[in-house]
Amino acid sequence: MFDKLKLKRQPKPETIRKILICQSNADLIQCRKHIHRIGGTVVKELPLVNGLVCELPDVLMYELESTSGVKRIEDDIKFHTSCLNYFFRRRSSPQQKPQEVGWGVRRIGAPEAWPISRGAQVAVAVIDTGVQLDHPDLQGRLGKGFNAISTGRSANDDNGHGTHVAGIIAAADNDIGVVGVAPEVIIHPVKVLDSTGAGSLSDVIEGLQWCIEQKVDLINMSLGARQDSETFREMIKLAAERGIIIVAAAGNSGPAMDSIDYPARYPETIAVAASDQQDAIADFSSRGREVDITAPGVEIPSTYLKGEYRSLSGTSMATPHITGTIALLKARKAELDLAEIKAILRRSAYRLPNFAPEYQGVGLVQAGVAVNKYSE
């Protein structure tokens, strides 16, 4: 009797979520069958990397590890926005306030580029929390979207972060609200983060997969993770091999050194640090040898939920300044590759005095100089 009572009190097995990468597409089919056979559930497939995302009781992990044809098994690690949520203030509605060019857009000289390029015809994916699809300042700027969290649902934003990022890149020049760095690009919202600004590696990978299939020109990733992933690295590399330029937030773990987030650590991305109104590197901006360039990232005004505007801070806000600048360049010369773009950004940047390359990379981006002098 005692043994039976003890058995009844055993806790339920914990459900775990794993990413399986198979040796081949044929192995993927067999792995899917095996997961169902042992009592697991296939959540989604990642065909570009022969991957499956599955959930199963932790006690069955040994069964998973012994599955034939499995190349590796990874944790479905967590991602987060690269924004400091306590650095914001509510702004007026577009009907109450005339259009302004934010200090960051002015500081990088974007208006000086507009007579030559406004980013027309450039497709920019914003992998984030989604975008408010009916925001007045983003009308005419939004293309096809994708929701990796809830299949079949729109990429509408339920957090605000993605809408803010999209506005820094592409808010329309329409006499209301704010103006983006490249006000004629097309934004493709890719929702991989939830209402809290958090998400899973598998959803980020699926978002990248969609971007590759859609053949976008640029990807903005104002998000990051502290943990590396071989599968994530493979997807970033694959996107880069397809000619997609990926711009990523360095992270907000400063002033500690060697604190760059993934994917900004990967050489296939452009890693962005944040500066303030005094051209100083923000205290929160992550430091490390992977930093490529700097852009404004403190108290940046942009679009937000409910048709409103807010000022936010973080390398999340710095990153779209770089994405917008590259869009201006790509609109002039679509065939520019990653090496050529990095060279243009390096030659045109303003090096901030008193800050080492680990803080600022090549310096503060200068969009006007880059477009006017180096995009012929």
Best CA proximity match to 128, nearest among 112, 141, 105, 145? 145
- Residue 164 annotated as catalytic: no
Burial state string for 147-166 with b = 16 or more CB within 10 A and e = fewer than 16: bbbeeeeebbbebbbbbbbb
- Cα(234)–Cα(224) distance, integer angstroms: 16
- Cα(123)–Cα(111) distance, integer angstroms: 20
- Residue 161 annotated as catalytic: yes
Among residues 27, 76, 128, 261, the one annotated as catalytic is: 128
- Cα(201)–Cα(77) distance, integer angstroms: 5
Among residues 229, 285, 311, 316, the one annotated as catalytic is: 316
Residue 57: exposure state from Cβ atoms within 10 A (0-12, 13-18, ≥19): middle
Among residues 135, 161, 164, 188, the one annotated as catalytic is: 161
Residues 291 and 142: beta-carbon distance below 8 Å: no
- Cα(36)–Cα(376) distance, integer angstroms: 56
Structure tokens at 26: 């044929």
Catalogue the active-site residues: 128, 161, 316
